Amino acid sequence: MVRKIIIGTRESLLALWQASWVKRILQLRYPKLSMEIKTIKTQGDRMLNTALDKINDKALFTRELEIALLNKEIDIAVHSMKDLPTSLPVGLIIGAITERHDPADVVISKSGVKLLDLPKGAVVGTSSLRRRSQLLNMRQDFIIKDICGNLNTRIRKFAEQDYQAVVLAAAGIERLGWGDKITERLNPEEFLPAIGQGALGIEIRQSDKGILDLVAVLNHSNTDSAVRAERAMLRTLGGGCQTPVGALGLVVDDKLMLRGLIGSLDGTRILKAVDSGSPDFPEVLGQRLASSLIDQGAGEILKQIRN
């Protein structure tokens, strides 16, 4: 018999929305089950004024939640998949990957002007190396300025400071009901998103069969295949959340299509690859796409970034 379920989450507005959504879905499926949400502050939440690319820590937003899982203080940890490192601590697994929201990045500009119509030398806010690389590849005159913090903090800083535009994930903006702020949606097949962007990951203890059975209702098979392919690509490249790597997996007509990208920090060099395979073997496809990028020189770009 499964006891009361404790759902662990970060305490930002978006993280709480995500955990509440998971709780609501589980309660609809299991109305007699008792559930509560427990908020946990991660190291990343304590460093909200530091650009993420300055911190060499792949588990910045997940470690404290994972410790709580291993210590049995919580039963489920809800993450944005793009925050979850490609290698998990021993004893933990991804129990479910939820149906993906729109994976695209969006632009919010103060003047209501689209990205390519911004004035020369426009200040664009992002702390993502992936976004920085692709933005500078589009226009070398952009001035990319770090904008740190959780989503509501970044929105506030954007409004108060000298940014002319900011690039953010559509999923977070729309989940918090701020879709009316969006100026432009960037085509995710061209401006590639972060690995797992738009999907939620449900992390659990590997030994907890009862919880695994419970969270199965949250798993979306096509999203699961797509995100596992993206993560396998990133893992094979040896990159982390804070490297200029993007990917997008899509299942169409029972075939998994995967696009991948790695770019230099100055945007002058962008390597892309596309491949397809079976949704039943997503890791094989991800590894193959990574090999294609490595053949093009991805290792050289990563080495330059690490140096």
CA 278 to chain centre: 23
Q: What is the mean pLDDT of residues 43-67?
A: 69
83 catalytic residue (yes or no): yes
Query: pLDDT by residue (tens digit) across 181-226?
Result: 999 999 999 999 999 999 999 999 999 999 999 999 999 999 999 9
User: Does 56 have pLDDT greater than 60?
Assistant: no
The CATH topology of domain 1-98+199-219 is D-Maltodextrin-Binding Protein; domain 2 (3.40.190)
User: Does 83 have pLDDT greater than 80?
Assistant: yes
What is the percent of the chain with per-residue pLDDT over 90, rounded to a whole number? 85
Q: What is the mean pLDDT of residues 101-105?
A: 97
| 1-98+199-219 and 105-185, same CATH topology | yes
At residue 243, φ and ψ (nearest 5 deg) are: -120, 155
Q: What is the mean pLDDT of residues 88-98?
A: 97
Query: pLDDT by residue (tens digit) across 119-155?
Result: 999 999 998 999 999 999 999 999 999 998 889 999 9
Q: How far apart are the first and last CA of the chain?
A: 52
pLDDT of residue 13: 94
pLDDT of residue 122: 98
**Looking at 45, 53, 83, 224, which residue is catalytic?**
83
Q: Strand 76-80 and strand 200-205: pairing?
A: antiparallel
The 3-state DSSP composition of the chain as helix, strand, coil percent (nearest 5) reads 40, 25, 40
Cα atoms in the Cβ-side hemisphere of radius 13 Å centred on 307: 7
Paired tokens of 217: 């209702």
> What class does CATH assign to 220-307?
alpha beta
pLDDT of residue 48: 57
Going from N- to C-terminal start, the domains of the chain cover 1-98+199-219, 105-185, 220-307
Asked if 181 and 143 count as a contact pair (C-beta separation under 8 A), the reply is no
Q: Strand 76-80 and strand 5-9: pairing?
A: parallel
Q: Which residues pair with 200 in a beta bridge?
A: 80
3-state secondary structure of 128: coil
Q: Which residues pair with 276 in a beta bridge?
A: 257
For helices 151-160 and 13-29, give the axis angle rounded to 10 degrees. 150
**For domain 105-185, which architecture applies?**
3-Layer(aba) Sandwich (3.40)
User: What rounded mean pLDDT belongs to the chain?
Assistant: 93
